Chain A
C-alpha cells in the first residue's frame, strides 16, 4: 500500500519479555518517527530519524527502549523487559523531510500482562 505500514497490529506479551515493533514508512520519506499513545491520552514523542543523521532519542522513556532504522527504510522499535506501563499504541509516522506533513500508520497495540 501507499501508507505507513506497521506490524504487528496487535501484540499481547508477558511482563518481562522483549518485543519488537516494525514500521515500513512511505517510500521516499526520509524522516521517520515513533510515538506512543496510552489509552485515552495524547501522543508522546519517542524518537525520530532523519536521513543519515543521528536520531533524536530524547523522548525514549528509559533504556529499555531502543530503535533502529536501516537507511531510509524499515525501522524497528524494541522494548526490553516489558512492564505493564508499556501497554499502549505505538504509532509510527513518516514525512518527506522534517517539518513537512507527517503521515501516521495505524499503530501497533501492545498489551503487557
Chain B
C-alpha cells in the first residue's frame, strides 16, 4: 500500500536558521513520482518540485534543496537561511505509475519562521 509520512507536525525556527522537513514514503511500485507543495496562509497549493523514482540526484533551487534517498525511502526538503515568507504548511506527495492521477499526500508540516 502507498503511504506518505511527514512525522513533523509543526516546526518553529528563527529567521536565517536552516530547517529540514522530513518525508518518508511507502510504495510497491518501482516507478513512482514524488512531489513537494507549499501551502501558505492564503491557502493555494504551490508546486515546488517533482522527482521520478529513477532520478536520485539531489536538487538545489536557490535556498531550497531536496535529498532523495531510495535506500531509506525518504525525500527530505531543506530550506537554507529561512525567511518569514517561508512560513507555510509543506506537503510531500507520492504518485505511483499505476495510478498516476492519484497523489497520496502526507499530512503536512507546518513551518513557522519567526523574525
Interface residues of A (CB under 8 A from B): 31, 33, 35, 41-45, 48, 50, 56, 58-59, 89, 91, 93, 98-107
> Are B101 and A41 in contact, with the CB atoms below 8 A?
no
> Are A45 and B102 in contact, with the CB atoms below 8 A?
yes
> Are A102 and B35 in contact, with the CB atoms below 8 A?
yes
Knowing A42-B105, A43-B103 are in contact, say whether A99-B45 is a contact too (CB < 8 A).
Answer: no
Q: Give Cα A103 to B48, complex, Å.
A: 10
> Are A101 and B47 in contact, with the CB atoms below 8 A?
yes
Residues 43-84 of B, flagged 1 when their CB comes within 8 A of A and 0 if not, give 111110010000000000000000000000000000000000
Q: Give Cα A81 to B42, complex, Å.
A: 29
Interchain residue pairs with CB less than 8 A apart (16): A31-B101, A33-B103, A35-B103, A42-B105, A45-B102, A48-B101, A56-B102, A58-B102, A89-B43, A98-B100, A99-B97, A100-B50, A101-B50, A104-B44, A104-B47, A105-B44
Q: Give Cα A41 to B107, complex, Å.
A: 6
Closest residue of chain B to A49 (Cβ to Cβ) is B101
Q: Which residues of B contact A41 (CB under 8 A)?
A: 107
Closest residue of chain B to A104 (Cβ to Cβ) is B45
- Output the least CB separation between B57 and chain A (Å): 18
Q: Which residues of A contact B97 (CB under 8 A)?
A: 99
Closest residue of chain A to B106 (Cβ to Cβ) is A42
Closest residue of chain A to B99 (Cβ to Cβ) is A56
The reply to whether the CB of B104 lies closer than 8 angstroms to some CB of chain A is yes
Closest residue of chain B to A44 (Cβ to Cβ) is B105
> Are B102 and A48 in contact, with the CB atoms below 8 A?
yes
Q: Give Cα A93 to B105, complex, Å.
A: 14
> Are A59 and B102 in contact, with the CB atoms below 8 A?
yes
- Output the least CB separation between B35 and chain A (Å): 7
Q: A43-B93, A58-B99, A104-B46 are in contact. List 8 more A-B contacts (CB 8 A).
A: A42-B106, A43-B103, A44-B105, A45-B104, A56-B101, A58-B102, A99-B33, A102-B47
> Are A50 and B101 in contact, with the CB atoms below 8 A?
yes
> Are A33 and B101 in contact, with the CB atoms below 8 A?
yes
- The 5 A-B residue pairs whose C-beta atoms are closest, nearest first, are A48-B101, A98-B100, A104-B45, A99-B100, A42-B107
